[in-house]
Structure 1
Amino acid sequence: MSGYQIETIHDLIRILKDQPEWKEELRRLILTEELLALPAAFERFRQEEFKPLVERVDRIEGDVHVLKQDVAVLKEDVAVLKEDVAVLKEDVAVLKEDVAVLKEDVAVLKEDVAVLKEDVAVLKEDVAVLKEDVAVLKQDVAILKQDVAVLKQDVDILKQDVADLKQDVAKLKTDVGDLKGDNFQRKVRENAAAYLGRLISRARVVPHEQLADILEDAFDEGKINESERDDAMVIDLVVRGRLRHDKTREVLLATEVSVVADRHDVERAARRAAVIGRAFGLETIGVAVGQDRTEGAAEAAEALDVVLIV
């Protein structure tokens, strides 16, 4: 280098142009291996974000002037990167806070999940128990259905039995009523003087055979018609005697006997008294005798001039 005089940078540049091999050696001396590798590393770093710069870096020439310009650009880019890093730091700080909150939330969720797992386990046990209960209930329902079917059959039978019992009771009531009526009628017939003594004296019951003969004779003589004969034939009792208040008058008492004397008894006594009176040719008084009476019987007795004895 004694043949060259260097006073300015331009002198150095000119020498390097004359001696190209010096330029490469100088570059190795000035730049470290890290700086030599920096363009390639920076090119990879800027492949996506700093593509324009990478393209410019590819065009860097070996002179220092162009390198200074590129370094200036790099400084600007570094400044931008610093700003970006600052923003990133702020974002990271926010993210850290969010992560902390998320961690707390995750901790709470873990606790909730643990509780839910316990609840699910309990629910599974409950479901298992419920399934067993449902199975038992199904069996019970099946048995109940069978029991209900049997009960329905029993109810139908009971209904029929009740209906039969009602008929039997109704028949029994009728029979009891008839028995009471027959018994009371027998008592009145056997004790006619006692029951009818306030109306007549020397009371004598007209035998049914005699009554039938006289009614037949009256029918034959045209005094009564067939329906009147048949109706009078079934009168309960005919008693002959003399009136208490006028012993010169012999009368017949055409008597209807009933445990409870009602309007129909009174009407029959009046109707049959008229027929028997015509048949016997004697004054005949309609009489209704009962252990009790209805209001209708009292009204009919007064209207039809029938004696009501209770």
Structure 2
Amino acid sequence: MQSLNKEKEMEKQPVLTFADIIRALREHPEWLEELRKIILTTELIELPKKFEEMLVRMEKLEKKVDKIEKDVEILKQDVAILKQDVAVLKQDVAYLKGEFGRFKGKEFERTIRERYYAYFGRILRKSKLIPFEEIIPLLETAEEEKIITEDQKVSALQLDLLIKGEIKKVKKEVYLAIEVSYSLQEDDIERAIERAGILAYVLKSEVIPTIVAVEIKEEIQKSAEDKGAFVIKADF
């Protein structure tokens, strides 16, 4: 009914030019909606509404993205902290491994020192642990006489053990310059050989470079034997 009344009212409005149309629409703004329905499709009419809805959705999406970015940033910080914690943990583990290794080495050396007669009794008779106090004067005299250098004297004094005895098979008196190492390494061999050589000059006796170890790789043992060092495998 309202639509019919609107049409009748439109019919009363004289329209001769485009200006008449503009004037009529200004006088009757409610006619604009009818004009839109004629000119525009439903999709175009609803486009502003849909655009507003899209803007609302975009705003919500932007908020979600902002939250995700913040969460990602927090996660990155947490990961960085975790990496730092892991790095510290690795350092602590490495330190503890080193400390435990040193502890095992010291404990092993103490056991060999206290029970040397049991470890060397099979090859030596009349075995005796030589206190370093007995050889310090000899080393100092050798240094003064330029037979050895100060570095060589210091190196000899860093030997783990010095044992004197007779080789059972030949009844020959010798010294054993002993390096004690839980796991045999090449540098243990080199140290034993070097220090045995220094003491041989000072003691004017045969000094056999000897290494006592728990863990011995076959190739390293062969290397020691090829260089003239004596290797003893011990249980610990």
Calculate the TM-score normalised by the size of structure 2: 0.70
In 2, distance between residues paired with 1:129 and 1:295? Answer: 80
Q: CA deviation at 1:202?
A: 2.6
Task: Tell me the secondary structure at the aligned position of residue 308 of structure 1.
Answer: strand
Q: Structure 1 residues 196-205 or 266-275, which shifts more?
A: 196-205
Task: Tell me the secondary structure at the aligned position of residue 259 of structure 1.
Answer: strand
**Counterpart mapping for 1:294-309 below 5 A:** 294-309=217-232
Relative contact order higher in (CA < 8 Å, ≥ 6 apart): 2
Paired position in structure 1 for 2:66 = 142
Q: CA deviation at 1:255?
A: 0.6
- Structure 2: which amino acid aligns with 1:146? K
Paired position in structure 2 for 1:286 = 209
- Structure 1: which amino acid aligns with 2:133? E
In 2, distance between residues paired with 1:149 and 1:244? Answer: 75
Q: Which residue, out of 89, 93, 114, partners 1:165?
A: 89
Paired position in structure 2 for 1:276 = 199
Paired position in structure 1 for 2:75 = 151
Q: Structure 1 residues 276-285 or 293-302, which shifts more?
A: 293-302
Rg: which structure is higher? 1
In 2, distance between residues paired with 1:241 and 1:153? Answer: 66
Task: Tell me the secondary structure at the aligned position of residue 148 of structure 2.
Answer: coil
Instruction: Please say if 1:236 is aligned against 2:236.
Output: no
In 2, distance between residues paired with 1:199 and 1:180? Answer: 26
Distance of aligned partners of 1:142 and 1:221 in 2 relative to their CA distance in 1, 3 Å threshold: same
Is the Cα contact below 8 Å between 1:237 and 1:256 reproduced in 2?
Answer: yes
Task: Tell me the secondary structure at the aligned position of residue 287 of structure 1.
Answer: strand
- Structure 2: which amino acid aligns with 1:277? A
Q: CA deviation at 1:131?
A: 6.2
Paired position in structure 2 for 1:187 = 111
* Structure with greater helix share of residues: 1
Paired position in structure 2 for 1:103 = none
In 2, distance between residues paired with 1:208 and 1:173? Answer: 31
Q: CA deviation at 1:273?
A: 0.7
Gaps of 5+ in 1: 1-116
In 1, distance between residues paired with 2:137 and 2:64? Answer: 78
Distance of aligned partners of 1:309 and 1:130 in 2 relative to their CA distance in 1, 3 Å threshold: farther
- Structure 2: which amino acid aligns with 1:263? E
- Structure 1: which amino acid aligns with 2:113? R
In 2, distance between residues paired with 1:302 and 1:281? Answer: 23
**Sequence identity, in percent?**
36
In 2, distance between residues paired with 1:281 and 1:148? Answer: 75
Q: CA deviation at 1:135?
A: 4.1
Q: Structure 1 residues 170-179 or 277-286, which shifts more?
A: 170-179
Paired position in structure 1 for 2:135 = 211
Q: CA deviation at 1:192?
A: 1.0
